[in-house]
Every structure is written in structure tokens, then in C-alpha cells.
């Protein structure tokens, strides 16, 4: 597990994170800055032109180097592999600068991945002692989520992502499940990222149930926070055995789906969770086709 960094309050602890592998990254432009490609054209991995692009909110990290800490930006490779597996092209968007319009115009879909906690100030609570935040990631996710929702782009929100989605739409979180909502389910057993920690009851007829093709699953669980009050714009679609909401969707959107578990760790061995990425991929391709058709109509074709 990545060592958590406390950003709020200026008490930054020395960060020690697993080396992040950048996959394909378009840096946001800075006004007045000379635009340099992140990697040379010759070295750049080619992304097939027909591959829809999914923006991935990406956290600032660092790792120790011989001359001290080296700032990096990254996300767990498992998310990128899962998106690629679904025929999608991930584009990493690092926290720290606002994404510019060109980048947002590329967005066929959005992935909000796991990570540290959402700043509880965003839902009107003082921080619990175990809460660790990254305010720049909070900001970036809003800057990506707002245009995605405004334009009906598909969104897949995983772990921290489902929590960020719930808070962005007006909901709250339980900041420490073990402390504030103790019960029969251990949501962070810390015995492996693919360990099937608890069951999941999925609402029949929900987008999640349609996607995974099941209403009863076993899932991994790597979180210490969870959804408290559900946001008005969301409906619950899955629950752990202790009643914790672990799946949501936005009924007024083409495809906005959140899960508290980590399907990106399990998609190779779990057909239902593989189908979740497949359904996201299908939704992203449909959204892009619709957008292209609207563009063609606007151009008078
Ligand atoms: Mn759980």
C-alpha cells in the first residue's frame, strides 16, 4: 500500500511511494510556457487512433533518489491495464495544475481511481485522526468531473473515486469505518489486494447488475472510509453484508457508476468484474460515437 501523505495543514510527512510508471501523459499547458512534448514522438507509445481516450486523475507522489526526494505523478498500473484490456486509451492527468480545454476536449470518458481520502472540509466535517488528504487531487477531480457530468461522459469511479463522486454531488463519508461504524465486516483486512473480503449484494436492474451480470458477488476491500449520506443525485446499487453502500450510479447520466471495491485488481480472474470494464468501454465508445454524430450534424454533413 502506498504510504499516505498528509497535505492539509502543512504537516507533510516524508512520502515513500512505489515507483509510479507513467503510461501516456499529456501535461496541461501553462500560460506563456513553451510547450514541450512529455516524451519524444519517436519514443512515444502509439495509441491507436480508434481507441477512445479516458482521462485518469493521477496523484502527485515522490520517491527517494540519491539526491533526495524526486517528485512524480502516477496511478496504479492495474487501472491502466484494465482500461487497455477494455480497448480504451488511458491519459494520465496529474494533480497540481488545472487541466486545460484541449485536454478536456479529448475526454471520451473519465476514471476516478483509488487513493487517499477526500478532504472532509468538502462535506463539512473536521478530520478524523486517520484521515489523510490530498487537496490538489480533490481539486483536479472536480475539474474533471464537472465537465464530464455536464457533457454526459461516462465515468467509472473506484474506491476513493466513489467517495469523491458522492462528495462532489453533495453526500458525506464515514471517515473511519472501524472506529465510527464498527460491525461484522472488516473492510481493510490488509491481506492482499485480490483477497475476496466480503460479499456484495447488487440491485437487480441497476447498471452495475447489468454490467457484471450478477446480483451476488465476492469482492476485495481496501478502504477505511465509506459512503455516509448518499448524494441526492446518486442511487445506491450495491451493499456489503453490513449495509455499507458499495455501489452507486447517477440515474440521470448515460453511465456514471461507482464501486467501493477494486475491480482493476480482479478483472483477469473475475468474469463479472471484467464485464464491468467492458460495459464502461462500451459506454465510452457509444458516447464518443454520439458526440461525433452531433459534430457531423453541426457541420452540416
Ligand atoms: Mn468493503
pLDDT digits (tens, 9 = 90+) for 161-192: 999 999 999 999 999 999 999 999 999 998 99
Give distance in angstroms: CA of 226 to centre of ligand 1: 8
132: annotated active-site residue: no
pLDDT band of residue 265 (cuts 50, 70, 90) is very high
Per-domain residue ranges for the chain? Answer: 51-298
pLDDT band of residue 6 (cuts 50, 70, 90) is very low
pLDDT band of residue 49 (cuts 50, 70, 90) is low
Give distance in angstroms: CA of 174 to centre of ligand 1: 13
Strand pairing class (245-249; 235-239): antiparallel
262: annotated active-site residue: yes
264: annotated active-site residue: yes
Strand pairing class (173-174; 226-227): antiparallel
Give distance in angstroms: CA of 35 to centre of ligand 1: 43
Residue 43 has pLDDT above 60, yes or no: no
Mean pLDDT to the nearest integer, 61-80: 92
pLDDT digits (tens, 9 = 90+) for 77-128: 999 999 999 999 999 999 998 998 999 998 999 999 999 999 999 999 999 9
- What share of the chain has pLDDT > 90, as a percent? 74
| Residue 296 neighbours by CB under 8 Å, 6+ apart | none
Please check whether residue 92 is in contact with residue 74, taking contact to mean a CB–CB distance below 8 angstroms: yes
CATH number of 51-298: 3.40.50.880
> Of 141, 159, 187, 198, which one is the catalytic site residue?
159
Give distance in angstroms: CA of 192 to centre of ligand 1: 13
> Of 141, 246, 249, 264, which one is the catalytic site residue?
264
Mean pLDDT to the nearest integer, 22-26: 44
Mean pLDDT to the nearest integer, 199-224: 97
Residue 276 has pLDDT above 60, yes or no: yes
* CA neighbor of 117 nearest in space, from 179, 60, 176, 157: 176
- pTM, entire model: 0.84
Amino acid at each position: 500500500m502506498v504510504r499516505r501523505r498528509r497535505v492539509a495543514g502543512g504537516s507533510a510527512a516524508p512520502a515513500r511511494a512505489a515507483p509510479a510508471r507513467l503510461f501516456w501523459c499529456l501535461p496541461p499547458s501553462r500560460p506563456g510556457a513553451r510547450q514541450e512534448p512529455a516524451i519524444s514522438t519517436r519514443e512515444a507509445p502509439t495509441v491507436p487512433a480508434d481507441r477512445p481516450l479516458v482521462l485518469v486523475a493521477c496523484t502527485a507522489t515522490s520517491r527517494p533518489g540519491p539526491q533526495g526526494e524526486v517528485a512524480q505523478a502516477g496511478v496504479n498500473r492495474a487501472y491502466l491495464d484494465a482500461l487497455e484490456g477494455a480497448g480504451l486509451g488511458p491519459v494520465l492527468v496529474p494533480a497540481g495544475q488545472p487541466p486545460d480545454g484541449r485536454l478536456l476536449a479529448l475526454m471520451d470518458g473519465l476514471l476516478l481511481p483509488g487513493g487517499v481520502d477526500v478532504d472532509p472540509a468538502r462535506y463539512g466535517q473536521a478530520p478524523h485522526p486517520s484521515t489523510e488528504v490530498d487537496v490538489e487531487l480533490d481539486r483536479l477531480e472536480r475539474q474533471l468531473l464537472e465537465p464530464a457530468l455536464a457533457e454526459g461522459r461516462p465515468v467509472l469511479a473506484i474506491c476513493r473515486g466513489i467517495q469523491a463522486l458522492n462528495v462532489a454531488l453533495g453526500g458525506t463519508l464515514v471517515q473511519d469505518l472501524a472506529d465510527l461504524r464498527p460491525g461484522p465486516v472488516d473492510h481493510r483486512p490488509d491481506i492482499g489486494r485480490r483477497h475476496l473480503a466480503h460479499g456484495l449484494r447488487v440491485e437487480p436492474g441497476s447498471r452495475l447488475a447489468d454490467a457484471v451480470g450478477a446480483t451476488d458477488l465476492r469482492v476485495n476491500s481496501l478502504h477505511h472510509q465509506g459512503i455516509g449520506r448518499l448524494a441526492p443525485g446518486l442511487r445506491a446499487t450495491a451493499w456489503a453484508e453490513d449495509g455499507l453502500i458499495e455501489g452507486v450510479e447517477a440515474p440521470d447520466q448515460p453511465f456514471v457508476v461507482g464501486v467501493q471495491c477494486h475491480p482493476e485488481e480482479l478483472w483477469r480472474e473475475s468474469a463479472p468484474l471484467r464485464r464491468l470494464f467492458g460495459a464502461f468501454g462500451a459506454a465510452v465508445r457509444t458516447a464518443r460515437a454520439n458526440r461525433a454524430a452531433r459534430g457531423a450534424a453541426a457541420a452540416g454533413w
